[in-house]
Amino acid sequence: MPAPAPNQPASSQRLSRIVNVGIPYLWLGLFFLLPLGIVLRISLSEPALAQPPYTALWEWLESGMVTIQLNLGNFMLVWADDLYLVAFLNSLRVALVCTLLCLLLGYPMAYAIATAPERWRLLLLMLIILPFWTSFLIRVYAWIGILKANGFLNNFLLWLGVIDEPLAILHTQIAVYIGVVYAYLPFMILPLYANLTRLDHTLLEAAADLGCRPWRAFLQVTLPLSRAGIIAGCMLVFIPVVGEFVIPDLLGGPRTLMVGGMLWTEFFSNKDWPLAAALAMMLLGLLVIPFVLLQRWQQRAEARGS
């Protein structure tokens, strides 16, 4: 008996579904999950003077037995040593403060661009994106020239007579804040702009018509409706800043220890890959867990709303 005809399209449909879902999974597995697994595996080994510079996870013994050695020592060390904790907290603080500063600076800028006359918008956006055309490293170096003791900023302030002697800004926490806010501001502005241009202007007219003054209308209509843009911008700034290495290294001082710098030192100076991998894993946990919780909380809030 021949197979029933309707089966044919059904199976091809299933195939296309498998391909459609499978390709992204394959991609994620290959370029995200697999490297993550490798890092996790390194974090559970011990450093060794070998190539690669860490011990194997398992060994075949003559007797046919497999011994698996999981070394949690790296995590214990990171947990126990205050130095790492300080670096973590410092990273979080810098990321938090800079995200907030970017939001406070970026929101008005994004709002101004979004409400500017049509013919100005493209130009203003270009001005935001323009710095990307120069190397990131060169831009950070430029800040050294601006912030150093006889740099542009100090000379300018001395010339104005605001200060009598040069301010020590370079190699302090403040220099790191300045550098990070400068470098990451576009990442805050762009998603906010994308969100604010979609805001229906008649909603503000309706608010005014219902007796709402412009400032309150901003708080009650514009701000809540731009929440998605705010969240996107904050994530785009906060996450990379926590692991930022170049800016604190070039602009910061000895007291601006951040996780990025620790990772660099462990990997390249101390050649302790397992410890560096453990640090990276803990950093990941630190970033992922709050965001997962935030997302679940949001979903629950939305489910309650509808």
List interacting residues with another protein (CB under 8 A): 200, 202-203, 205-213, 216, 220-221, 224-225, 305-306
Q: How far apart are CA 221 and CA 204, in angstroms?
A: 7
Q: How many Cα atoms are found within 13 Å in the side-chain-facing hemisphere of 19?
A: 6
**Structure tokens, 240:** 């990379």
Q: How far apart are CA 42 and CA 54, in angstroms?
A: 7
> Whose Cβ is closer to another protein: residue 10's or residue 206's?
206
CA distances from 117 to 21, 99, 202 (A): 43, 28, 17
**Crossing angle of helices 118-129/82-115, nearest 10°?**
160
Q: Least distance (Å) from another protein to the CB of residue 166? A: 50
**Structure tokens, 188:** 């805050």
Q: Least distance (Å) from another protein to the CB of residue 225? A: 6
> Whose Cβ is closer to another protein: residue 90's or residue 226's?
226
Q: How far apart are CA 35 and CA 30, in angstroms?
A: 8
Q: Least distance (Å) from another protein to the CB of residue 205? A: 5
Buried residues in 187-200 as b, exposed as e (16+ CB within 10 A): bbbbbbbebbeebe
> Whose Cβ is closer to another protein: residue 180's or residue 196's?
196
Q: How far apart are the first and last CA of the chain?
A: 52
> Whose Cβ is closer to another protein: residue 118's or residue 164's?
118
CB 57 within 8 A of CB 44: yes
Q: Least distance (Å) from another protein to the CB of residue 120? A: 17
C-alpha torsion 213→218→220→222, nearest 10: 140
> Whose Cβ is closer to another protein: residue 207's or residue 276's?
207
Q: Least distance (Å) from another protein to the CB of residue 124? A: 23
Q: Least distance (Å) from another protein to the CB of residue 202? A: 4
> Whose Cβ is closer to another protein: residue 111's or residue 273's?
111
Q: Least distance (Å) from another protein to the CB of residue 226? A: 10
> Whose Cβ is closer to another protein: residue 218's or residue 267's?
218
Q: Least distance (Å) from another protein to the CB of residue 98? A: 28
> Whose Cβ is closer to another protein: residue 213's or residue 300's?
213
The amino acid at 189: I
Long-range contacts of 136-143 (CB under 8 A, 24+ apart): 136/183, 136/246, 137/246, 139/182, 139/183, 140/179, 140/183, 140/246, 140/247, 140/250, 140/251, 141/250, 143/175, 143/178, 143/179, 143/182, 143/250, 143/251
